[in-house]
Amino acid sequence: MVIEVDVRGFSCPIPVVKTKQAIEANPKEVLSVLVETAVSRENVSRLAESKGYSVEATETDGEYRLTLTPPGK
Amino acid sequence: MKLLLTPRFRIIIAGLVFGVLAALMTNWGNPPNMGICVACFLRDVAGALGLHRAAVVQYLRPEIIGFLLGAFITAYAFGEFRSRGGASPLVRFILGALVMIGALVFLGCPIRMMLRIAGGDLNGMVALAGLITGVLVGILFLKRGFNLGRATRIHPLVGWTMPALMLGLLLLAIFKPGFIFASETGPGAMYAPLAVSLVIGLVVSFLAQRTRMCFVGAWRDVFLVRDFYLLSGVIAFFIAALVTNYVVGNFGATGIYHWGFTSQPIAHDNHLWNFLGMGLLGLAATLIGGCPLRNLILAGEGDTDAGVTVLGFLAGAAIAHNFLLASSPNGTGAWGPLAVTIGLVFCVIIGLVMRE
């Protein structure tokens, strides 16, 4: 199951807070995080990588979809 | 070579460059321990525009203009300019004003706080404890779901408003029409040459935009997500300013700095209100997502909510000086403690109420 987290429009640090809470609530699941700015992309990626997640980012229409895969998955 | 490309390395370099420049700005004409202070300089800009009439703090600081215009140019160059807004602008305006009131009770923004410590002023340590306490309270609200709502994309021209305003201020700074106030004595009469201030503002702004440097977010990220990225920039800034002050002789026998709490330049040593003033700033800035510098940078990137926050800073400066809230080297203003108390209550209510 992929958990969707839509944090578009939120300014720093809300995207990080919401992603962190989603990670803690679903520690073994893949997360798909939608962010709107390069800053949010960097901050969410840094958080995920610090927890051992691998991060894949795709850009469409000025928005970023970050796929966060937990370690060992 | 790979090390050079890591974000951590880049923000440390940016912090070092900023720290050296901020310390040197004092030697090039800016007031002591105020090489760069976003709060003090916005207060001077408010004074120059006649929004307050404190005659010693009125000057159109080109650094402020450079910070915002530099972010605008950098954001465009790197494809990051986005016109956006609509996430509780009124609340941001008021929180911006409270950030400024807290700063003017302590006498400095988080940048000047670090510069004051790097210049031997130990009152900055008390303020740092207050700042961190305010940030910790803000984090409690963030963890409970506090947020100011979502911004939406808006017409690109709206995002140009704050940069255009700064361009106007730059013209006023260059041509000095008679209706612009300018201090003849005091901190407002101490400044580096206009071109130097403007270029330093642009350079710092480039570094801050690319690295997302933030002097409040640095502490927030450490306690919220154990992320030391932003803090490494702030520590580099502090070390660079401290070393620069020693190298250029500011701590020497004829220098302008000494270690201690008393007789520090443009500072008072009321520990309680230094702590609580910066505590208010830490809390309010955590709720709006960043320090005064960071909001200037975001405003340059097209974030109109940050633009409204900057206008809140200017309003807060005007209120602080018109209604005797601002401190002076003689101590706190008559109504400063009451204003900080009201500000803290407002922040707690906002923090508790505005959540999902």
Q: What is the mean pLDDT of residues B68-93?
A: 97
Tally C-beta pairs within 8 A across A and B: 54
Residue A46: its H or E element: helix A38-50
Contact between chains at B142 and A14 (C-beta distance less than 8 A): yes
Per the structure, how many domains does chain B have?
1
Contact between chains at B217 and A47 (C-beta distance less than 8 A): no
Strand-pair category, A30-35 with A54-60: unpaired
C-alpha B61/C-alpha B184 separation (Å) is 15
Handedness of CA B77, B78, B83, B87 (dihedral sign): negative
For A7, name the nearest residue in chain B, comparing CA atoms only: B150
- pTM comes to 0.96
Residue A42: its H or E element: helix A38-50
Domains and CATH numbers, chain A: 2-69 (3.30.110.40)
Q: Mean pLDDT score of chain B, rounded to an integer? A: 97
DSSP sequence for B47-65:
HHTTSS--TTS----HHHH
In this model, does residue B3 exceed pLDDT 70?
Answer: no
Q: What is the structure's pLDDT at A73?
A: 76
Question: Is B78 among the domain residues?
Answer: yes
Q: What is the mean pLDDT of residues B48-68?
A: 97
Radius of gyration of chain A (CA): 11
DSSP sequence for B238-305:
HHHHHHHHHHTTTTSTTSS--SBSSS-TT----HHHHHHHHHHHHHHHHHHTS-HHHHHHHHHTTBHH
Domain with B238, as residue range(s), is: 7-353
pLDDT in tens, B146-176: 999 999 999 999 999 999 999 999 999 999 9
The answer to whether residue A6 neighbours chain B at the CB level (below 8 Å) is no
Q: What is the structure's pLDDT at B210?
A: 97
pLDDT in tens, B251-267: 988 889 999 999 999 99
Q: What is the structure's pLDDT at B247?
A: 96
Question: Is B325 among the domain residues?
Answer: yes
pLDDT in tens, B26-36: 999 999 999 99
pLDDT in tens, A9-61: 999 899 999 999 999 999 999 999 999 999 999 999 999 999 999 999 999 88
Question: Complex ipTM above 0.90?
Answer: yes
